[in-house]
C-alpha cells in the first residue's frame, strides 16, 4: 500500500478538525467600493454607459456570479439581474416583488430594488423592467455592455427572447458583449474573498469527516450523503450545493447514483465531488474513501491522481503558463498508463467555476496570477474511461508559490471493515 493511503483511522488523518460554525455575512463596503471603481474604470475605457448584468439560478446558483459580485444579491435560489451604470446607483431587478423587503434589509451594498413582476400578479418581464431602468437613467441612446453573452459559456446565458426584446425596445442604443469584463474582474481575489473561500473549504472538510464517520458496509449511500449535507448546512453552507457521488467501482462521481437505495459493501471505493458555498463563494472538494481493500486498479489510479495533484501544486507560482501546469499534471497520469477522466486538472474558483480551465493541450496563453484560486481535481482513469477517481481541494496562488485553503490533507483514507 502506498504512503498516500492512510489506514484504520479514528478520524480523518488522526485528530478530527475543531469545527466552527460560520454564519453567513456580507463583504465590506470597502470591498464593494474597490469592485465598483475597477469595473467602472474598465467601462470608461471601453466607452460603456451601463452594464446589463444577467443572472439566473443555473448550475447551483453559479449563474448569479456576476450579479452577486456587484451587489451581494444571490443564494438559496434567488434570481436577479442588475443595471449597473457608469455613474449613479446600480439597480437590482428581482423576480418577485415579495422579495423586495428581504433584500432591502438584507444587504447594505445596493439600495435600489425593483421587481420584474409589476403589478403584483403580472407575469415577469425582464426585458421591460431592464429597459425601464435604462430609460430612467437617460441612457436609451447609450452604449450598453451586456454581461451574459458569449464568454465561459460559449453560447451565453441571457435568453434570446429577453435580449431580442431589449434591443427592440431600445432601438437607438448600441450593444456589445461585456461578459469578459466581469469574468476578468472576478479572476483575481481580494483578501476578503480568500477568507470566504477558506471558510467554504473548511465546511467542506467537515463534511468529509462526516462521510468517514458514517460510511460502512450495510449503510445506504443516501444515508452517508444525508450526513454530509446535514454537516454542510449545519456549519454554514448555502443551498443548493453542487454534490456528486460515486461508490462501488466508479468511473467518477456523478449526480444520481446515491439516490438509488444501494447499500455500501466491503471493497467499495467512494468518490465525491462537492462545492459548499460560504456567502456565495464556492469551495471544491474531491474526497475519496476506501472501505476495506480497494480492488485493482483503484490503488494505482489513486496513486497516479495524487502524484498529479502534488506535481501541480508544487509547481504553482505567479507567471506559470496554464498550459505548462496542465502538462506537469498530466505527466504522472500518463506515465502510470492512464488517461484523464472526463473532467479537468483544475479550474478557477469564486462565486462559481471560472477560468482558467486546465485541460490537456490547453490552447490559451494565460498565466497564473497572484490571488487566483484554483480548484484542483486531477483524476486518473483507465484508458477506456470505465474506472476512474479524482482527488483535490483549493489552492491560492501567492506571491511566492501557493497556499492550501483546506485543513484536511489530500490523501486516500482506508477504513477497515
SS (H, E, C) the chain: CCCCEEECCCCCCCCCCCCCCCCCCCCCHHHHHHHHHHHHHHHHHHCCCEEEECCCCCCCCHHHHHHHHHHCCCCCCCCEEEEEECCCCCEEEECCHHHHHHHHHHCCCCCEEEECCCCCCCCCCHHHHHHHHHHHCCCCCCEEEEECCCCCCCCCCCCHHHHHHHHHHCCCCEEEECHHHHHHHCCCCCHHHHHHHHHHHHHHHHHHHHHHHHCCCCCEHHHHHHHHHHHHHHCCCCCCCEEEEEEECCCCCECCHHHHCCECCCCCEEEEEEECEECCEECCEECCEEECCCCCCHHHHHHHHHHHHHHHHHHCCCCCEHHHHHHHHHHHHHHCCCEECCCCCEEEECCCEEEEEECCCCCCCCECCCCCEEEECCCEECCCCCCECCCECEEEECCCCEEECCCCCCCEEEECC
φ and ψ of 43, to 5 deg: -60, -45
Q: pLDDT of the chain along its 417 residues, tens only?
A: 345 544 443 344 456 788 989 999 999 999 999 999 999 999 999 999 999 999 999 999 999 999 999 999 999 889 999 999 999 999 999 987 777 778 877 789 999 999 888 766 678 899 999 999 999 999 999 999 999 999 888 899 999 999 999 999 999 999 999 999 999 999 999 999 999 999 999 999 999 999 999 999 999 999 999 999 999 999 999 999 999 999 998 877 777 677 788 999 999 999 999 999 999 999 999 999 999 988 899 999 999 999 999 999 999 999 999 999 999 999 999 999 999 987 799 999 999 889 889 988 888 889 999 999 999 999 999 999 989 999 999 999 999 999 999 999 998 999 988
Fold of the 49-177 domain: Creatine Amidinohydrolase; Chain A, domain 1 (3.40.350)
Domain ranges for the chain: 5-25+188-415, 49-177
Determine contact, residues 77/240, Cβ cutoff 8 Å: yes
The HSE-up count of residue 368 (CA atoms within 13 Å, CB side) is: 31
pLDDT at 10: 37
Partners of 93 in the β-ladder? 81, 114
pLDDT at 350: 94
CA count, 13 A, side-chain hemisphere, 28: 8
Q: What grid cell was written down for 24?
A: 453567513
Tell me if the domain spanning 5-25+188-415 has CATH number 3.90.230.10.
yes
* pTM of the full structure: 0.93
Amino acid at each position: 500500500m502506498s504512503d498516500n493511503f492512510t489506514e484504520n483511522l479514528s478520524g480523518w488523518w488522526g485528530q478530527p478538525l475543531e469545527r466552527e460554525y460560520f454564519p453567513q455575512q456580507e463583504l465590506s463596503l470597502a470591498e464593494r467600493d474597490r469592485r465598483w471603481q475597477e469595473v467602472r474604470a474598465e467601462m470608461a475605457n471601453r466607452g460603456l454607459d451601463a452594464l446589463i448584468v444577467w443572472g439566473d439560478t443555473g448550475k447551483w446558483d453559479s449563474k448569479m456570479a456576476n450579479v452577486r459580485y456587484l451587489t451581494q444579491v444571490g443564494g438559496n435560489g434567488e434570481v436577479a439581474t442588475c443595471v449597473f451604470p457608469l455613474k449613479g446607483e446600480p439597480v437590482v431587478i428581482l423576480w418577485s416583488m415579495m422579495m423586495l423587503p428581504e433584500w432591502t434589509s438584507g444587504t447594505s451594498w445596493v439600495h435600489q430594488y425593483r421587481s420584474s413582476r409589476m403589478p403584483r400578479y403580472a407575469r415577469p418581464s425582464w426585458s421591460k423592467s431592464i429597459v425601464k431602468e435604462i430609460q430612467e437613467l437617460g441612457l436609451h441612446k447609450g452604449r450598453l455592455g451586456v454581461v451574459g453573452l458569449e464568454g465561459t459559456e460559449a453560447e451565453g446565458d441571457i435568453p434570446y427572447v429577453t435580449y431580442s426584446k431589449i434591443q427592440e425596445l431600445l432601438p437607438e442604443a448600441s450593444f456589445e458583449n461585456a461578459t469578459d469584463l466581469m469574468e476578468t474582474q472576478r479572476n483575481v481575489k481580494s483578501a476578503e474573498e480568500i477568507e470566504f473561500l477558506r471558510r467554504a473549504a473548511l465546511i467542506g472538510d467537515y463534511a468529509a469527516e462526516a462521510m468517514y464517520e458514517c460510511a460502512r458496509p450495510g449503510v445506504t449511500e443516501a444515508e452517508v450523503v444525508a450526513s454530509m449535507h446535514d454537516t454542510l448546512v449545519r456549519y454554514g453552507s448555502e443551498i443548493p450545493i453542487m454534490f456528486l457521488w460515486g461508490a462501488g467501482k466508479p468511473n467518477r462521481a456523478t449526480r444520481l447514483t446515491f439516490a438509488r437505495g444501494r447499500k455500501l459493501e466491503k471493497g467499495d471505493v467512494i468518490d465525491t465531488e462537492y462545492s459548499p458555498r460560504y456567502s456565495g463563494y464556492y469551495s471544491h472538494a474531491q474526497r475519496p474513501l476506501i472501505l476495506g481493500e480497494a480492488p485493482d486498479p483503484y490503488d494505482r489510479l489513486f496513486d497516479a491522481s495524487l502524484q498529479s495533484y502534488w506535481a501541480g501544486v508544487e509547481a504553482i507560482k505567479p507567471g506559470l503558463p496554464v498550459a505548462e501546469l496542465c502538462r506537469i499534471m498530466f505527466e504522472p497520469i500518463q506515465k502510470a498508463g492512464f488517461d484523464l477522466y472526463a473532467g479537468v486538472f483544475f479550474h478557477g474558483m469564486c462565486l462559481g467555476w471560472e477560468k482558467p480551465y486546465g485541460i490537456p493541450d490547453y490552447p490559451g496563453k494565460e498565466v497564473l496570477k497572484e490571488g487566483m484560486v484554483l480548484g484542483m481535481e486531477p483524476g486518473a482513469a483507465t484508458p477506456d474511461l470505465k474506472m476512474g477517481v479524482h482527488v483535490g481541494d483549493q489552492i491560492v496562488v501567492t506571491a511566492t508559490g501557493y497556499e492550501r485553503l483546506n485543513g484536511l490533507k489530500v490523501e486516500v483514507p482506508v477504513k477497515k471493515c
